[in-house]
Structure 1
Amino acid sequence: MRFLLLALLLVSPLCFAKTVVIVQSYHIEYKWDADYIEAVRSVLGKDHDIKVFELDTKRLPKPEWPDKVAEIQGKIAEIKPDVAILGDDNAFSLMAEHLVQREIPVVFLGVNGGPVQHPTLEHPLVTGILERPFFADSIRHLRKVLRQRDRFLVLMDDSPTMRNAVNEYFGDKRQATVYGSDLDIVLTNDRDTWLKSVVNAHERYDAVVLGTHHTIRDKDGNYATPYELLKEAYYSAQLPLFSFWDIFVGQEQSIGGFTISAHQEGLTAARLASLILNGMRPDQIPQLKSISGHYVYSESGLDHWNLQLSPMIASQANFVD
């Protein structure tokens, strides 16, 4: 069934014009959102009417979320879309149940939680792509990039997103061996602990691989802005910083690696939606995990840590800055 689905994703024809709504967890200026929305438009935009709504949950205070949700729900009730695409966990948790109660099929992407966090994942009107870091593929790739490649620190915030991803892959273990390399997995929401782990990593490891760092605060409870936190790590680290996500790759950020692509997630979500628009029921479409990553590297990051990719890897990589 999975192979048949993948084949359908490549060729799924489009039907007569229908209406698709996209509900973002965040906002269009956020690179992850911009990338997947562009990808959805590239697949569906020519033949269908696409409406986009921002929940804006990175910028709006949480007490204001219910009003924003009610506003978007009202607009969707007027539009009566044929399918809704929900981007990331907040959009799913805030909108999915409302949509399926109104018999609107849902395609999700970028969702890290499972059925415990999101019971509506098991509803027959729901399908999509569970976002999961490419733990093994990333380590296998980094073993080809680095001369020293035996010890890695995997550093993440202690968010439900990262706990779910780590527990699903590693269980309750926080030390593991992947392709012959030893991994220590650290999840923390404490700014000092996170930065100290980066600063001291050279004493025990050959590289750091970063997950998300969006729920980190200092000892006084002040929010640590992800970009500023990563920028400080960039200048403090004595060994290279890699990433599981392409949105953390760039100037004064991480070097890169084999990463999850928002664009690819958007393409896949759009193709799943096109199957529904052509008459397939969501419960006929198995939910997927992130299918395809890509090699992304920062040229300034490679210079900063004095690394050079092999001609083979460089020929496969996308370069930023």
Structure 2
Amino acid sequence: MRLLILVLLLVSPLCFSKTVVVIESYHKEYKWDADYLVAIESVLGAEHDIHVLALDTKRLPKSEWPQKAASIQNSVAEIKPDVAILGDDNAFSLMAQHLVDQNIPVVFFGVNGTPDQHPTLEHPLVTGVLERPFFEQSIRHLRKVLRQRENFLILMDDSITMRNAVNDYFGDKRRAEIYGSRVDIVQTNDKDTWLSTAENAYTKYDAIIIGTHHTIRDTGNNYVQPKELINQAHLSSPVPIFSFWDISIGAKEALGGFTISAYQEGFTGARLASLILNGIQPDRIPQIKSLSGHYVYSKSGMAHWNIELSPLVASQANFIE
């Protein structure tokens, strides 16, 4: 069945015009959202009427999320979509159950949660792309990039998102061997612990790979901006810092890696939606994990840590700056 769906994703023709609503967890100016919106438009925009609604949960305080969700629900009632596409966990947790209650099929992507956090994942009107970091592929890639490549540190926040991702691949282990390299995993929501772990990684590790770092707080329980955190780590870590997500790569941030692509996530989600628009029931479309990533590198980051790519990898990479 998985092979059949992959084939359909490539060759499925689009039917006559229908209405699609895309509900963002965040906002269109946020790079992750901007990239996947371009992908959705490229797949569905020529034939279908697309409406984009933003929950804006990165900028709105959590206390205002229910009110914003109610406003989005009203908009959906006016639009009367044939299918809804939900980007990321917040959109799914705030909107999925309401949508299926209205008998609206749901396609999701960028969702890291499991049915324990999102019971609606198991609803017959729901399918989509479960977002999972490319642990194995990233280690394989970095073993080709680095001269010293025996020991890696994966450094993440201790969010539900990252716990799900780690448990899905590693189970309850926090040390593993991948392609002959030792991999240790550290998860924390404490700023000082996160930074000191990054700063002292050189005593044990050849490189750091960061996951999300969006639930970090300082000793006063104040929220720490992810960009501020990675900027400090960039300046203080003697060993190179890579990332599982392209949105954490750039000047004074992570230097690169084999990353999840927002464009690819949106593209796959849109193709799944096209299957539903062509009459395939969502429960006939298996939920899948992130299909492919891409190589993204920061030129200033490469210079900072004296990293060079082989001609082959360089020819496949997207360079920032």
Tell me, yes or no, whether TM beats 0.5. Answer: yes
Structure 1 segments of 4 or more deviating over 3 A?
Answer: none
Compute the displacement of 1:318 (Å): 1.1
Distance in 2 separating the partners of 1:314 and 1:61: 41
Corresponding residue for residue 169 of structure 2: 169
1:48 aligns with 2:48: yes
Corresponding residue for residue 66 of structure 2: 66
Q: Where do 1:130-145 residues align within 5 Å?
A: 130-145=130-145
Read off the aligned partner of 1:102 and give its amino acid letter.
Q
Q: Secondary structure at the match of 1:8?
A: helix
Corresponding residue for residue 9 of structure 1: 9
Read off the aligned partner of 1:161 and give its amino acid letter.
T
Compute the displacement of 1:312 (Å): 1.2
Q: Matched residue pairs, number?
A: 321
Distance in 2 separating the partners of 1:4 and 1:66: 39
Q: Secondary structure at the match of 2:216?
A: coil
Corresponding residue for residue 195 of structure 2: 195
Read off the aligned partner of 2:144 and give its amino acid letter.
K
Q: TM-score when scaled to structure 1?
A: 0.99
**Offset from partner CA, 1:240-282 (integer Å, 9 cap, x none):** 0000011111111111111100000000000000000010000
1:157 aligns with 2:160: no
Corresponding residue for residue 80 of structure 2: 80
Compute the displacement of 1:128 (Å): 0.2
Corresponding residue for residue 36 of structure 2: 36
**Offset from partner CA, 1:49-85 (integer Å, 9 cap, x none):** 1001110111101111111000000010011100000
Q: Where do 1:1-321 residues align within 5 Å?
A: 1-321=1-321
Read off the aligned partner of 1:189 and give its amino acid letter.
N
Distance in 2 separating the partners of 1:229 and 1:113: 24
Q: Secondary structure at the match of 1:108?
A: strand
Distance in 2 separating the partners of 1:61 and 1:255: 31
Distance in 2 separating the partners of 1:229 and 1:36: 25
Read off the aligned partner of 1:180 and give its amino acid letter.
G
Compute the displacement of 1:316 (Å): 1.3
Compute the displacement of 1:4 (Å): 1.0
Q: Secondary structure at the match of 2:153?
A: strand
Distance in 1 separating the partners of 2:20 and 2:48: 7
Distance in 1 separating the partners of 2:240 and 2:262: 23
Superposition RMSD in Å: 0.6
Distance in 2 separating the partners of 1:316 and 1:35: 19
Distance in 2 separating the partners of 1:223 and 1:29: 21
Distance in 2 separating the partners of 1:49 and 1:123: 25
Q: Secondary structure at the match of 1:124?
A: coil
Compute the displacement of 1:124 (Å): 0.3
Distance in 2 separating the partners of 1:231 and 1:177: 29
Distance in 1 separating the partners of 2:299 and 2:136: 24
Distance in 2 separating the partners of 1:164 and 1:282: 24
Distance in 2 separating the partners of 1:72 and 1:127: 21
Q: Secondary structure at the match of 1:129?
A: strand
Compute the displacement of 1:134 (Å): 0.5
Q: TM-score when scaled to structure 2?
A: 0.99
Q: Secondary structure at the match of 2:208?
A: strand
Distance in 1 separating the partners of 2:261 and 2:252: 20
Distance in 1 separating the partners of 2:72 and 2:80: 12
Identity of aligned residues (%): 70
Distance in 2 separating the partners of 1:158 and 1:31: 23
| Unpaired segments ≥5 residues, structure 2 | none
**Offset from partner CA, 1:14-64 (integer Å, 9 cap, x none):** 111111000000111111111111100011011111001110111101111
Q: Secondary structure at the match of 1:132?
A: coil
**Offset from partner CA, 1:191-247 (integer Å, 9 cap, x none):** 000000110010110000000000000010010001111111111111100000111
Read off the aligned partner of 2:306 and give its amino acid letter.
N
Read off the aligned partner of 1:279 and give its amino acid letter.
G
Read off the aligned partner of 2:165 and give its amino acid letter.
A
**Offset from partner CA, 1:164-188 (integer Å, 9 cap, x none):** 0001110111111111000110000
Distance in 2 separating the partners of 1:7 and 1:256: 31
Distance in 1 separating the partners of 2:3 and 2:172: 31
Read off the aligned partner of 2:3 and give its amino acid letter.
F
Read off the aligned partner of 1:111 and give its amino acid letter.
V
Distance in 2 separating the partners of 1:317 and 1:60: 35
Compute the displacement of 1:12 (Å): 1.5
Distance in 2 separating the partners of 1:176 and 1:139: 11
